[in-house]
Structure 1
Amino acid sequence: MITNTALEYKGDLYPSNIVSYTLEGDSVYFNTDNNVILKVTVLRDSLIRFRFTTKGYFSNDFSYAIDKTQLHGYNFLSITEEADYYQIVTSKIKCVIQKADMRKSIYDLAGNVLLEDELGFHWEESFEFGGNIVKMSKSSKDGECFYGLGDKATQMNLKGKRLENFATDQYAYQKDQEPLYKVVPFYIGLQNKQAYGIFFDNTFRTFFDFCHERRNVTSFWAEGGEMNYYFFYGPQMQDVVATYTDLTGKPELPPLWALGYHQCKWSYFPEHNVKEVTAKFRALKIPCDAIYLDIDYMDGFRCFTWNKEYFPDPKRMVAELGQDGFKTVVIIDPGIKVDKEYSIYKEALEKDYFCKRADGPYMKGKVWPGECNFPDYTNPEVREWWAGLFKELVADIGVKGVWNDMNEPAVMEVPNKTFPNDVRHDYDGNPCSHRKAHNIYGTQMARATYHGVKRFAYPKRPFVITRSAYAGAQRYTSSWTGDNVASWEHLWIANIQVQRMSISGMGFTGSDIGGFAEQPTGELYARWIQLGVFHPFCRTHSSGDHGDQEPWAFDEEVIDITRKFVNLRYQLLPYLYTIFYQYIEEGIPMLKPLVYFDQADIQTHYRNDEFVFGNQILVCPILEPNALGRRMYVPKGEWYNYWTNSRVKGGKEMWVDTHYDEIPVFVKAGAIIPKYPVQQYVGELEFDELTLDLYYKEGKEKSVVYEDAQDGYDYKKGRYSFLTFRLTGKTKELNVQLHKEGKYDTAYSKYKINLIGLPFKVTTIEIDNEKITFDSAALEKNSYLVVNKEFNILHLVGE
């Protein structure tokens, strides 16, 4: 329990004693005699919002991060008053609020402390800008660990770190450099094997200190706005992450091709260069689904235009690329060139859609086209206009995806690399300065882009990618980790960044494979592609000024390794599509750091390198040159080495031998992994057989496979296929039960089941309780059997 001590720290201001409270529906208001109000809202039994104001009333309650379509509700809520404190109880947690100073403690129902205030809420008046610098400090126990915060170039466990959230164009950033492109003010605390989460929904520049300044104190603060945060109780990390992802929203399914391999460079032009690159992929039989056009495709870098010298007939070119299986993705930046002859500029000027300085003139800054004005994407009318601009690109020319860059927003030739603080924004009817709107500017641009691409791609699904993002951006867009560097250190950073983004609600993320700045060696590129194919978004991208970075820019061995791993990704597309479906349905991250996978095992709490891809594939990249093996931690349970099919018992660190054309990959015992045949692009082949790699286990394991038409919206009308395989293994028996949901009928009619690790010789096969004849010699030699997809129970008996 918090003790009542005098609170004096740095001249800050604090709540005084509580003089009254009122209960209104799901919210309790506490009032102090120095005009502070705390509003406690119970959204779910394990999700509580804390909102403070120091002025005696609350401003309009508005957030870009919260998904307003999500339903909330709780099972139980009571409030009681004691001599020194108030107590709020739900069916999951108990919150105690001290009368003397408004400090709070949160407990589980067994009385264990989950989180308690140190100084609690305090603030400092900002005489430079007006308003308050709002602060919150929490007590931290020894051994407590911290995770999340989105895109950070540091170790997985944030204990001992101080981090800053301010969307910044951070070209060629280094390890531990702050801040970066994205702002996700959400973290997960883990203490005594119980997890909780904090989401500080404040779009001003924010800071988090995880026991860096003071050993047992965690704090977060913002340069303006409200102290407004959500508390999530687990006790499992998966509960915290799922609830946070639900609160801030989930995307719709991407088209399956968006999960294929993508190729990008600054810049592919003119047309014959684009065609040479795409033809080379097909000639070398390296699958690829998307080719990107960077800023040079435009006329003088003017958005929504084409350089007719480089691309005389873009519609024809895009159609021809499409015939060969390539989807064209183009870049669009926020800067609109100041040019009275440029129709987009003229229209925005006439409609007063550009951001303005405090004194009235339009915000002007230099980016690629030279001097530019910038649309105010926080104005819904501007977003609607912006969405309409995509008609020609998407509906007429046939572009399949749009890539938003430079939207931190980035501005050249100014010390702060972005807009001045005095720029004004509409903020959806809540007018404010750029200090408040800066961190969500990129997300609102991506939101407008998404609605435009979706409108004109219909009945197909949209694909959008953004560099800058705030919490909740995952509803509209995928993302990548920005302008990284071709170095081994950056390969390590990329691995952690994508894991961290995945548990921070933004699942559809990847890195620039090979590094954007500088030139990778062939070995570094090979090791990066081996990691990148296990990231939800998979794209090679480079700055181009140091030479080429296509797979064939290196030697034959690297070409072969690239082909091998991209082939593997295309085989695993049904597995990847399934884990994406689970992400959007249940908020389950597609990549799971080991601590998420098994938080009860303290050995996982400081692991950085290993992660679980989906639910059943363990991946550990090779992060050093000249390495033919590495030490890694294999989590508890039984696992099969993917390359050798040898079985290992986890729960320990071990040395794993590997080769240049391999990285350590393990599959969970009992898993059934779906695979497609290798295709050069999604939809190239029709096939009559789905391969299922079945990894024997003594015991039980569940596996699922989600499929639909791979694009379009029929899946929302129930036209999907969701298969649940329940495997039960005994010493001389194997039983697989199949349950089917959904109205989609897959094109294939059979399953080819690869039996891996079967410890007995099969003597009897029963399908739906009927014995079938089979060639026992062939089965023993090939270790697979082919069955009709309509079966319900498969039963193997052996000797």
Structure 2
Amino acid sequence: MVRIGKRDLGSHTDKRPYGPQSISFDVSFYSAEFVSGIPERAMSLALKPTRGPGVEKDVEPYRLFNLDVFEYLSESPFGLYGSLPLMISHGKEGRSAGFFWLNAAEMQIDVLGDGWDAESGIDWVKQKRIDTFWMSEAGIVDAFFFVGPGPKEVVRQYTSVTGRPAMPQLFSIAYHQCRWNYRDEEDVENVDAKFDEHDIPYDVLWLDIDHTDGRRYFTWDSALFPHPEEMQKKLAEKGRHMVTIVDPHIKRDDSFRLHKEAAEKGYYVKDAGGKDFDGWCWPGSSSYLDMVNPEIRSWWGDKFSYKNYVGSTPSLYIWNDMNEPSVFNGPEVSMPRDALHLGGIEHRELHNSYGYYFHMATSNGLLKRGGGNDRPFVLSRAFFPGSQRYGPVWTGDNTADWDHLRVSVPMILTLGLTGISFSGADVGGYFGNPGPELLVRWYQLGAFYPFFRGHAHQDTKRREPWLFGY
């Protein structure tokens, strides 16, 4: 155990009231040619060495810390929206092994290159192996070794611990059309009609945050979407579905019933002083439910009933975004590490699992809504071991360029190798405007993504597939 004093995170100071602990150990993979896993990052399938001969001194360790990363870079060890501390080795003749550390605190991992400890006299010809160094900010050592002997067996052994992927709805493996934001019901109707006019198959149309009343989730903007049930029924008549966004930040507005009820019940994460944590996100001043608490997860799930989510129908499903959690005025755009959860547990100890619990609660809510007879569909941006049980994930806010098209392949493959088989990337890139050639090639690639969705930022040009003349 290492005790460290307070540290500065930009304008925030982490005082570490318990004299925070770090845990570290080495893991060696014998007979390994390369290692993969530990998503999420925009890099190659095989993890590159971060220390050792030939590695530049400024190379950072691989980081597992769920963050809302704006316009992330490709070929960077920096962590992104989800964290899966599972590493898999691959050797000759298809032999593999795995190491999994069930820990939700920030983690940093070094992959050591050949000859990093050559002075010890080890004969690398006889002792071919890959050494790794793991360090976590807090938590415990709850570790699993998977002996394979092949990659398929490693994944099977891992999912026997964390759960098998959920069987998806049939419609969910088809094409999804999304952008921030389709303006109103007329816009939705026109987009739907154009898909028919151009004979382009699609199954799902998505609405981002501005379909709500002032970014209060479970509501509709009555001026822009005055007839949400009728809008959904028109899609359902064609065998199509709708997905709306529901994020974890709840607008602090005493006239908003959801906030008032959560505050009265004491359901919010607390700040270090014991008051409801108040952070800044899309609605402005916001608080965040303590999803670690099973009682709160059950309460949240009930909000998806047709009675509570007025205007929803059986053809409506859910998108959980910003659930790292994202806090615009927080350290590293996230929740302070000394925020408090159930039992006085600091946020630092369970940060990477927050989105997982939010995903779980939403999925279970839809399951309950359907009386156990309708498979949920809930897309999540943040993830953690076990997220595969609750629905798909995607690779977050990528960019409209060839590098992001290219890197989407190893990102999705890595997710599949670590148990999350239902994943995809925003076709066309979320930020920026793709040219016709890039967009066409991305659709060709995206058809092979398990989760196939076109999505774009509100500042981009409209790019529905018929607009480019192909």
Q: Residues 594-673 of structure 1: matches in 2 within 5 Å?
A: none
CA displacement at 1:325 relative to structure 2: 2.4
Partner residue, 1:505: 419
Summarize the Cα distance change of 1:140–1:322 in structure 2 as closer, same or farther, 3 Å threshold.
Answer: closer
CA displacement at 1:141 relative to structure 2: 5.7
Q: Residues 205-224 of structure 1: matches in 2 within 5 Å?
A: 205-211=106-112, 214=116, 217-224=131-138
Tell whether 2:73 aligns with 1:187.
no
Tell whether 2:99 aligns with 1:170.
no
Partner residue, 1:155: 44
Tell whether 2:363 aligns with 1:450.
yes
Structure 2: distance between partners of 1:496 and 1:404? 23
Deviations 1:196-255 (A, max 9, x none): 100011111011111159466311110111122110001111111111122110133122
In the alignment, which of 275, 291, 306 is matched to residue 220 of structure 2? Answer: 306
Deviations 1:301-331 (A, max 9, x none): 0011110000011111111121122201000
Tell whether 2:301 aligns with 1:387.
yes
In the alignment, which of 170, 173, 177 is matched to residue 256 of structure 1? Answer: 170
Deviations 1:409-453 (A, max 9, x none): 001134420111111111xxx541010121111110110000111
Q: Residues 369-518 of structure 1: matches in 2 within 5 Å?
A: 369-392=283-306, 393=309, 396-426=312-342, 431-458=344-371, 459-518=373-432
Contact 2:81 2:383 (8 Å CA) reproduced: yes
What is the one-letter code of the residue matched to 1:204?
A
The structure showing larger relative contact order (alpha-carbon pairs under 8 Å, at least 6 residues apart) is 2
CA displacement at 1:191 relative to structure 2: 3.4
Structure 2: distance between partners of 1:173 and 1:399? 33
| RMSD of aligned Cα (Å) | 1.8
Which protein is richer in strand relative to its size? Answer: 1
Contact 1:187 1:197 (8 Å CA) reproduced: yes
Partner residue, 1:654: none
Structure 2: distance between partners of 1:341 and 1:386? 19
Partner residue, 2:438: 524
Structure 2: distance between partners of 1:154 and 1:463? 28
Where in structure 1 do 4 or more consecutive aligned residues deviate above 6 Å? none
Contact 1:400 1:463 (8 Å CA) reproduced: no
Contact 1:149 1:186 (8 Å CA) reproduced: yes
Contact 1:297 1:306 (8 Å CA) reproduced: yes
Contact 1:395 1:457 (8 Å CA) reproduced: no
3-state SS of paired residue (1:506): coil
In the alignment, which of 123, 127, 135 is matched to residue 24 of structure 2? Answer: 135
Partner residue, 2:124: none
- Bigger CA radius of gyration: 1
Structure 2: distance between partners of 1:337 and 1:255? 31
CA displacement at 1:555 relative to structure 2: 2.0
CA displacement at 1:369 relative to structure 2: 0.7
What is the one-letter code of the residue matched to 1:423?
A
Partner residue, 2:57: none
3-state SS of paired residue (2:89): strand
Partner residue, 1:82: none
Comparing 156-165 with 508-517, greater Cα deviation is found at: 156-165
Q: Residues 229-268 of structure 1: matches in 2 within 5 Å?
A: 229-268=143-182
Contact 1:151 1:498 (8 Å CA) reproduced: no
3-state SS of paired residue (2:87): strand
| Percent identical | 36
In the alignment, which of 229, 235, 250 is matched to residue 315 of structure 1? Answer: 229
Summarize the Cα distance change of 1:357–1:414 in structure 2 as closer, same or farther, 3 Å threshold.
Answer: closer
Given the two structures, how large is their TM-score scaled by the length of structure 2?
A: 0.88
> How many equivalent residue pairs?
431
Which protein is richer in helix relative to its size? Answer: 2
Deviations 1:318-366 (A, max 9, x none): 1112112220100001111111111101111111111111211111111
Structure 1: distance between partners of 2:207 and 2:317? 11
Partner residue, 2:255: 341
Structure 2: distance between partners of 1:452 and 1:370? 26
Comparing 505-514 with 408-417, greater Cα deviation is found at: 408-417
CA displacement at 1:142 relative to structure 2: 7.9
CA displacement at 1:512 relative to structure 2: 0.4
Structure 2: distance between partners of 1:334 and 1:170? 17
Deviations 1:376-433 (A, max 9, x none): 111111101100001134895344310000000001134420111111111xxx5410
Contact 1:163 1:209 (8 Å CA) reproduced: yes
Contact 2:69 2:81 (8 Å CA) reproduced: yes
Given the two structures, how large is their TM-score scaled by the length of structure 1?
A: 0.52
Structure 2: distance between partners of 1:513 and 1:291? 14
